[in-house]
Structure 1
Amino acid sequence: MAEYLARLVDPLIAELLEELPALALVGPRASGKTTTAARYARTTLRLDRRAEALAVEADPDAALEGLAEPILLDEWQEVPHVLGAVKRACDAEPRPGRFILTGSIRAETETQTWPGTGRITRVLVGPMTIGEQFGVREVPLVDRIARGELGEGVTRAAIQAEVPNLRDYLTMALRGGFPQAALTLQEHARRRWLDTYVEEIVTRDSQTAGGSHDKARLARFFEAYSLNSAGVVDDTTLCDAAGINRRTALRYIDLLSRLHIVDELPAWTSNRLKRLSLARKRFLADPALLASVTGTTDRTAMRDGDLLGRLLETLAVAQLRAQAAVSEHRCRLYHLRQHHGRHEIDVVAELDSRHVIAIEIKATAAPSAHDARHLAWLRDHIGDRLLAGIVLHAGPSAFPLSDRLWALPLYSLWTDTTAD
């Protein structure tokens, strides 16, 4: 059996099981939900196995009674009535650590089979971060900044023996974070795996999610959406590219969101700033999906600056999203853009609805104060609300740019570049 690589959500799952009766691990298909859940379960019922499903289907309440807890109900959607049994068990004995559910998103599309509101708490398990793949114990970057671990004492970090360069980051983006593809497959097989994954999103998965969808139109829309990952593009542009109307486009975005394949950043607003755009910023959940849809290789990406930038930003936001979910603060991610793009910031992390960390993501290996000009503008307008402005870059070093503005290498997302 392959060695288990710890996930960022592991401490959160353990903590919640100490207090809550039931958890549902949600996220994209093949992101490792079952593998992670199995580490906490004392009993596992795999309901995609007919023999186990038949017993549960015949009498769900009796099938769950007396089993060692926590009980993992894997692929629960194969016997949807088991949710009623979970509800009744939690209502009768609401002690912590009773059930863990993994499976499809049908719960969010077929509300008549979802009696879990107030009883089953969702925990997102997304694709693996780079730190998880390397076996690094990650501390969310926003938490390190909030603790004051960046400050006047920050100087150029000592360059490690094997610091990633731009090509290394590109390789990470192309590899992605789906455990099987990222950890066990070589390049050719990984491409085939990802191509199949994308195909099944618009065929099998979209139908499982409920409703009837034109597969050809959904495929065109997903391609158009993917090409605009890490971009602020209006619905009309996507509709025209896919040949569909806005109502259909909104249905598709909702579908892909519930499949956890897209995850958009809402616009950040402040009464101190004027003429801010309210458009959302589009993102795929994993940069390898963008590479698959576009047929990108390391060679083609290095020749296309726009595509390279989108891949790196999609990679960085995927790391930030995973870290925000387990931050010691209530961390929400946004983006900021003025109308006509006069000022725009890739990511705005708001902590506890008060403080802000603003982040720019650059493909350059030698960032300058010019790369932080939008961060400086935000700092000057919101004052002490800004804890830090960060330029994440593809170079090796961490160094200050000006008051509360720093350049940090991308690998600082999973490695503390300011440590002695």
Structure 2
Amino acid sequence: MIEGMSNENPGYKAFSRHAEGLVKMALVDTPVVLIQGARQVGKSTLATQVLAGTGARLLTLDTHSVLSAAQNDPDSFVRQNPDSLLAIDEVQRAPELLRAVKAVVDEQRRPGQFLLTGSADLLRIPGQHESLAGRAETIPLFGLSQGEIRSGKDDLASRLFSGDEIGLNDVAGTMSRDEYLEIICEGSYPEPRLRSGRRRQAWFDNYLSRIVDRDAKDISRLMHLDRLP
């Protein structure tokens, strides 16, 4: 069940992420798992893929009504799915939830209670390291790798350490300079890969503005959690 989230972009492609297996393994033995990464890197999509077919509940704090509920009554908010996994998307928008999550875990410690996504690593926030230590694991999510884009395996590191210079030359020789430049310009975020030229640049410009105008404020709130009542 996904509440407050829209997946209405008909052209969007949900890439299979290598981190999916890491998240699932962490949920087997860890009460709280955090998918941490920049906005639009694919955290929400990955969470949806992890939860598919599990009966878990996913709430996104990007929706005003959901965010208000989380801020007004964090204790009740985190107890909405007591017998199964509760996933909370963009949790840094309501830092009040962190202490409520800790309380639930301490009352009944079992693995796979919460799956959180956020643009900040909650385990490194002042005042939160001690409270979440031993209860949470962070899985970093970066931009798409070339293996994920091509639905294949990333093996550059293994080739480098194997000393297989011939194999590396074969890979490099299959692409032109223009193709390399296009890969660089496309970037590693899923959404701008649907665009090209000026439309892609417009996406990146708006992305930076959003980070400065809103996300920086959310991170600032997290950095002062010790001042919350």
TM-score by length of 1: 0.43
Aligned to 1:174: 185
User: What is the deviation of 1:58?
Assistant: 3.8
User: What is the deviation of 1:109?
Assistant: 7.9
- Aligned 8 A contact 2:92 2:218 in 1: no
Aligned to 2:89: 74
Aligned to 2:225: none
- Aligned 8 A contact 2:32 2:136 in 1: yes
- Aligned 8 A contact 1:106 1:210 in 2: no
Aligned AA (1:187): G
Which of 184, 192, 195 aligns to 1:185? It is 195
- Aligned 8 A contact 1:17 1:96 in 2: yes
Which of 115, 118, 122 aligns to 1:103? It is 118
Aligned to 1:7: 17
Structure 1 residues 313-358: Cα deviation after superposition (integer angstroms, max 9, x where no partner): xxxxxxxxxxxxxxxxxxxxxxxxxxxxxxxxxxxxxxxxxxxxxx
Aligned to 1:47: 61
- Aligned 8 A contact 2:35 2:141 in 1: yes
Percent identity between the two aligned chains: 25
Which of 202, 206, 209 aligns to 1:196? It is 206
Aligned AA (1:185): R
Distance 1:194 1:158, change over 3 A: closer
Which of 59, 75, 100 aligns to 2:73? It is 59
Aligned AA (1:179): P
Distance 1:82 1:143, change over 3 A: same
Alignment of 1:122 with 2:138, yes or no, is yes
Alignment of 1:134 with 2:150, yes or no, is yes
Distance 1:140 1:94, change over 3 A: farther
Distance 1:202 1:45, change over 3 A: closer
Whole-angstrom CA distance in 1 between matches of 2:167 and 2:44 = 42
- Aligned 8 A contact 2:37 2:142 in 1: yes
Whose helix fraction is larger, Structure 1's or Structure 2's? 2
User: What is the deviation of 1:173?
Assistant: 0.6
Whole-angstrom CA distance in 1 between matches of 2:68 and 2:216 = 26
- Aligned 8 A contact 1:24 1:102 in 2: yes
Query: Whose relative contact order is higher, 1 or 2, with alpha carbons under 8 Å and at least 6 apart?
Result: 2
- Aligned 8 A contact 1:25 1:123 in 2: yes
1:45 aligns to what SS in structure 2?
strand
Structure 1 residues 197-218: Cα deviation after superposition (integer angstroms, max 9, x where no partner): 234445544444329xxxxxxx
Cα RMSD, aligned residues only: 3.0
Distance 1:167 1:29, change over 3 A: same
Whole-angstrom CA distance in 2 between matches of 1:144 and 1:24 = 31
TM-score by length of 2: 0.74
Aligned length: 204
- Aligned 8 A contact 2:147 2:154 in 1: no
Instruction: Pick the structure with greater CA Rg.
Output: 1
Whole-angstrom CA distance in 2 between matches of 1:58 and 1:199 = 28
